[in-house]
Chains A and B, each alone.
Chain A
């Protein structure tokens, strides 16, 4: 029987001593969906993924991945999933192709099939030319692409991407996003990605779960989440701030007017529709408007709204930092 959901968790919980890293998580993810787990570092995203990948066992509760129980059928779960870990997990001494060959062996791909698939995934991430160079010579972005290729090699039905673009420069990140978008569009694969980059979740995910302290605060599409905030802000700059502000208050156009500072700021539900009216009102009382800007809510605002705190990207460390301290650092 075809399972209904790609992933279904039932009160999935992980405790480390007094700390509850994941707290009674109930979540269903459909086949073909790109699902984002969004939250700051330490929110429990990686712990959720580790449990779904059967690397660690939950303290209580369970989950079904691709129709298989993570506790009772972990081997079947492992065969049907692909993972790109947050930290690099490739063998530096081998070439790109050798890393893929090893992966093919570990997932029991027949030699001819492995050869064909390796060529396909290398082509997908654009690394054919570098396949036979040692991993040591790869840049951070290339390593990430090879890891993505490796995660896809055995045709997983569910792909986990744990912070796929962490520590990459904007251009490389853009590339990787394009690969992931293409993958979601052209295949039936289900993708679960964790991120603390708002724009990443916004761009790639069909649905996003905001996670904080091991709990889901809200799940919805990025668009719905943003619309629910009703948080467009119009900022008007003019030389005659007082005059325009007084008029706007008289008209009772909007209850929320902030005139502190050099500008007039209005909190509105639909900024685009209101702007022509505002310009007209200003023209009627002879006030020249020098600029108008609109701020739409971002997922960052959504995150702030649901958790009461800002998500800070600086919290994240580059995973490639490890290579620089190689040999000196104890665990």
Chain B
């Protein structure tokens, strides 16, 4: 049980830090709103195979995008901890490396979830009607997605030494993950090469599950429980990978 208290401590720190930065919370909402209201409106004429408007269609994708950006950046932010010494306090404490990763992942997951929650009520703006059941289904999906993504950030942070490699990561990791995830267009009508990329992108299953939860009745790429399982396995695998990386001593 003692590891739980340590995870709690690390989780609390992440959440406190997030909560203190109100400007970051607000600025990180601007991007999804631009996508929804500006990009979404501009693409209104696009014909989709259902009865949904494009704006409505991309809503779950934009939620996933918010999770993607918030989580990966939150993971990468461990660079600051390393730069300004706080990392040492954690590394010298009698805490297992797995607990450090889980604490960080849950903390960032919580911030991502808060971000998502602020976004969900805005769904009515684009014609989405969320049922209470949808809400219940969205929460665990959002948590699982952000845990895996935080760990991607942590792994990236272990490979780069400063924030200077940041643009590189943005264009090499984050944007490709976003564009191939099916957040902005249905993968069923995408060319085969693009679909291949999408299938190896874990975020694809996140977007798809979110979409399934948002509009009850849409048919997912794979059965939902399989997608959910993929997300869970991905999160566990990433936690294991991060713990392993953190364990390497100089």
Contacts and interface: CB of A to CB of B under 8 A. Distances in A.
Interface of A: 53-57, 75-76, 78-79, 83, 85, 87-94, 98, 101-108, 150, 322-323, 326, 330-331
B92 A79 contact: no
B2 A108 contact: yes
Given A101-B9, A102-B9, A105-B5, A91 B88 contact: no
A180 B82 CA distance: 28
27 contacts: A54-B92, A55-B88, A55-B91, A55-B92, A78-B92, A78-B93, A78-B94, A83-B92, A85-B89, A87-B85, A88-B85, A89-B87, A89-B89, A90-B86, A91-B17, A92-B84, A93-B17, A98-B13, A98-B16, A103-B93, A104-B9, A105-B6, A105-B8, A150-B89, A322-B85, A326-B84, A331-B83
Contacts of A330: 161-162, 164
B9 A94 contact: no
B22 interface: no
Which 3 pairs between the two chains have the least Cβ-Cβ distance? Answer: A105-B9, A78-B94, A106-B93
B92 A91 contact: no
A37 B75 CA distance: 37
B92 A107 contact: no
Given A89-B87, A89-B89, 10 more contacts: A55-B249, A76-B94, A78-B94, A88-B85, A89-B86, A89-B88, A94-B17, A102-B10, A106-B9, A106-B94
A107 B218 CA distance: 48
B161 to A, nearest CB: 5
Nearest to A105: B9
Nearest to A110: B5
B94 A331 contact: no
B12 interface: yes
Interface centre among A54, A88, A102, A323 (most CB of B within 10 A): A102
Nearest to A150: B89
A264 B86 CA distance: 55
Interface string B18-45: 0011000000000000000000000000
B125 interface: no
Chain A: interface secondary structure?
Answer: loop
B170 interface: no
B137 to A, nearest CB: 32
B6 A322 contact: no
B183 to A, nearest CB: 31
Contact of B162 (A57, A85, A105, A331): A331
Contacts of A91: 13, 17, 86
B95 interface: yes
A105 B12 contact: yes
Contact of B12 (A57, A79, A102, A331): A102
A142 to B, nearest CB: 16
Nearest to B250: A56
B162 to A, nearest CB: 4
Contacts of A57: 249
B175 interface: no
B90 interface: yes
Contact of A90 (B16, B89, B93, B95): B89
A76 B20 CA distance: 35
A87 B94 CA distance: 20
A94 B12 CA distance: 11
Interface string B189-205: 00000000000000000
Nearest to A55: B92
Given A78-B93, A102-B13, A331-B83, A85 B88 contact: yes
